[in-house]
Amino acid sequence: MSPDPAEKRVAFVTGASRGIGKAISLSQAQQGRHVVLVSRSEGPLSEVKSLIEESGGSASVRAVDVSDAAALKDAVEGVIEEFGRLDVVVNNAGVTRDGLVMRMSDEDFETVIQTNLMSAFITCRSAARAMMKHRFGRIVNIASTSGVVGNPGQANYAASKAGLIGLTKSLARELGGKGVTANVIAPGFVETDMTAALGDAIRSKVTEAMAIKRLGKPEDIADAVSYVASEGAGYLTGQVICVDGGLTMC
Ligand code: NAP
């Protein structure tokens, strides 16, 4: 028999409509969490919700643009009000606006920081009190190896992801005494819409540089999230785990 929904842990996953966030949502649901699926449009989220329900899990949908700080705050607070808890937050929604620094517009810099970094600050700040009250929380921020080693053409993206690392380590130190952990998963190259435009030459160059000679699958990232968000990972905090097939070994 599945657990009483009122007793289920609740996971809030941004960017849940496709790619890595969809895989994370499916795996969190498989682990018995009620998953709150967040991204901009309701249609694709409802499809993920149906997939979860078909496999016996439970989920709900919140169509929110995470770059809208007020709307995101309302969404997190609404979940805490509805369920009386928020146990897991996965900040996964992310965008790129690539270009060399010399040609990068203020707008492309700001959009990426607002969507990838500011949103994580908002969700973590909004969720922290409820997590501390229940003396349990798992914050998982999805960064990128670009945020650790940099990447030409991605100064805005790398800055947002490096910022996520600093945010996460600080949260880990602030909340660790209350049973709340905060960790970063930093993917390398994963087969999703985000990397779909990469040409064959770049793909084979990157794959050749990897210890494990293939691009990542969304499920490779979801498996790592699954561990850091698990009940058993209570002593792991402030870590950056690069899931990149051994590309950077950072
Ligand atoms: P993706 O396939 O492009 O999916 C991005 C997700 O973020 C979608 O669900 C999208 O939903 C959502 N999203 C984007 N902007 C949003 C906004 N303003 N508000 C709400 N949701 C928004 O990307 P992905 O490859 O799965 O990437 C997921 C995360 O992993 C990102 O943070 C990315 O930086 C990171 N990452 C990916 C790779 C890779 O190789 N793929 C490598 C390193 C790190 P809607 O468009 O429906 O709103």
Let me know if residue 171 belongs to a domain.
yes
User: Is-above-0.95 flag for pTM?
Assistant: yes
**CA 239 centroid distance within chain:** 14
For the Cβ of 45 lying below 6 angstroms from any atom of ligand 1, the answer is no
Task: With both helix axes pointing from N to C terminus, report the angle between 19-30 and 42-54 in degrees, rounded to the nearest 10.
Answer: 30
Q: Residue 3's pLDDT is what?
A: 46
**CATH code of the domain in which 66 resides:** 3.40.50.720
Q: Residue 5's pLDDT is what?
A: 45
Let me know if residue 129 belongs to a domain.
yes
Let me know if residue 249 belongs to a domain.
no
Let me know if residue 5 belongs to a domain.
no
Q: Residue 4's pLDDT is what?
A: 52
Q: Residue 6's pLDDT is what?
A: 56
Atom from ligand 1 closest to the CA of residue 146: 43
Residue of 49, 157, 161, 221 marked catalytic: 157
134 lies in which domain range? 10-242
Residue 149 burial (CB count, 10 A):
15
In 55-160, the DSSP E strands lie at 58-63, 88-91, 137-142
Let me know if residue 2 belongs to a domain.
no
Contact indicator for 23, 218 with CB cutoff of 8 Å: yes
Let me know if residue 176 belongs to a domain.
yes
For 186, the enclosing helix (H) or strand (E) is strand 180-187
Let me know if residue 247 belongs to a domain.
no
Ligand 1 centroid, distance to 142 Cα (angstroms): 10
Let me know if residue 27 belongs to a domain.
yes
Atom from ligand 1 closest to the CA of residue 157: 34
Number of domains in the chain: 1
Select from 17, 20, 191 the residue to mutate for testing ligand 1; criterion: most ligand atoms less than 8 Å from CB. Answer: 20
Asked if 157 is an active-site residue, the reply is yes
Q: State which residues of the chain have pLDDT below 70.
A: 1-6
